[in-house]
Amino acid sequence: MKSNRLKKLACAAVAALPLTVAAVHAQEPNDPFRGPALEALKGKWVAYLPISAGFDLAQAWGGVVKTEAERYGMKFTIQDPNWSTDAMSQGMTSLIAEKPDVIVTQNPDTQSLARLMMQAQRQGIAVIQLNMQGAVQTDAFVGPDFIALGRQVANMMVSKCGADSNTSHKISIVQGVLTGGVSYFQIQGIMEVLKEHSEIKIVSSQAADWDASKARAVTETVLQQNPDLCGIIDVWDGQAIGTGSAVKQAGMSDKVYVVTSGGGAKSTCDLLRDGTFSAVVNYDAPGMGRDAWTAIMVAMQNGGGAKMKTQIYSPSFVMTKNNVDEASCWNPENYAKLLR
């Protein structure tokens, strides 16, 4: 009896075997899209050319893109012009000659790389611009919508220092490099909002060239002249550390609202905790790295560079002392290690 049942079972199993095999066969072509996608990525060359490989944003972007590129068998190279626009355009020129498949770059200002980027596009090289938008549109711009971000920051300021508040309505603005995209577009957004709020008085609007020491010196004098200052907008957290220090050392952290924006590195979170900054619009640099990687995948799987042009606006959120502990404050060291 028992063996009979076993036999039946065996028969059934044998009968089912072709079915199972067929099922396995069917499963493989079940994802017919993966193969071509991997094929489109494999062996391609991503060249990374930020303004400098030595600062938090560029390290996070590069670290994420490199990890993903290597996961899919792509070649990743990095050049470090170390804040020299000259070295950067030379690097771009030689890259164009070597014809990588993708150039991921960051404009030092709106003009310097514009012609070179057009040249690269003509040769079919995909060009992805991070954070600092240039004067030409390429495969992708990846970064927050800085005009909107400027408007957001200005509105935060209006709610603290505007007509409804019992303050002097005096604010100061610290710009970066005047022609740098991050500064230029942000100021544009800020001014759009402030124009509608005539009660707000801008007592100073100076460029600090992304340098914390300069931002500190400017802000110290501004505070001296306007001890009743209500708030300060600084366009980048990397230089705002100087702005915030000046406020803190003048003992005015309670009175002056310091708002800035940046990639949300650990150092920025620490400065929120100790009261150097009042609020930071965090545009999450590792997230931008992911967006850049998305742009690379889109370009590679759609026939290479210069096929379509997309503005990829990265998400951002407002960080204050209250929610800083829930935010993912990343350590640039970890990404710097990946790039080395």
Q: Which stretch binds another protein (CB under 8 A): 41-49, 119-127, 185-193, 234-242?
A: 234-242
Residue closer to another protein by CB (options 127, 258) is 258
Q: Which of 111, 123, 188, 221 binds another protein (CB under 8 A)?
A: 221
Local structure of residue 314 (DSSP, 8 states) = P
> Per DSSP, what are the bridge partners of residue 317?
282
Q: Is 276 in the site for another protein (CB under 8 A)?
A: yes
Among 135, 137, 209, 304, binds another protein (CB under 8 A): 209
Query: Does 340 sit near another protein (CB under 8 A)?
Result: yes
By CB under 8 A, residue 88 contacts another protein: no
How many residues sit in the footprint of another protein (CB under 8 A)?
Answer: 41
Report the alpha-carbon distance of residue 16 to residue 28 in Å, rounded. Answer: 19
In sequence order, the 6+-apart residues with CB closer than 8 A to the CB of 19 are none
Residue 106 three-state SS = coil
Examine residue 54 and tell whether it contacts another protein (CB under 8 A).
Answer: yes
Which residues partner with 202 through β-bridges?
171
Single out the residue of 77, 84, 253, 294 in contact with another protein (rule: CB under 8 A): 84
* Burial environment of residue 217 by CB neighbours within 10 A (0 to 12, 13 to 18, 19 or more): middle
Query: In this structure, is the dihedral angle defined by the CA atoms of residues 137, 142, 147 and 148, taken in order, positive or negative?
Result: positive
Residue 106 found at the interface with another protein (CB under 8 A):
no
Rounded to a whole number of angstroms, the minimum distance from the CB of residue 312 to another protein is 25
Contact (Cβ atoms closer than 8 angstroms) between residue 312 and residue 104: no
| Only segment of 159-167, 221-229, 304-312, 316-324 that touches another protein (CB under 8 A) | 221-229
User: Tokens 């065996």 appear where?
Assistant: 10
Q: In whole angstroms, give the CA distance from residue 251 to residue 240.
A: 17
End-to-end CA distance of the chain: 71
The CA-based diameter of the chain, rounded to the nearest angstrom, is 103
d(CA 143, CA 166): 36
CA angle 133-135-136, nearest 5°? 95
Interface with another protein (CB under 8 A), residue from 44, 151, 170, 216 = 216
Contact positions with another protein (CB under 8 A) in 189-208: 203-208
Q: Does 333 bind another protein (CB under 8 A)?
A: yes
Check residue 314 for interaction with another protein (CB under 8 A).
Answer: no
According to CB under 8 A, which one of 56, 101, 139, 284 is a site residue for another protein? 56
Residues 270, 309, 315, 323: which binds another protein (CB under 8 A)? 270
Contacts to another protein by CB under 8 A: 52, 54-56, 59, 82-84, 178, 203-214, 216-218, 220-222, 224-225, 238, 241-242, 245, 249, 267, 270, 276, 332-333, 336, 340
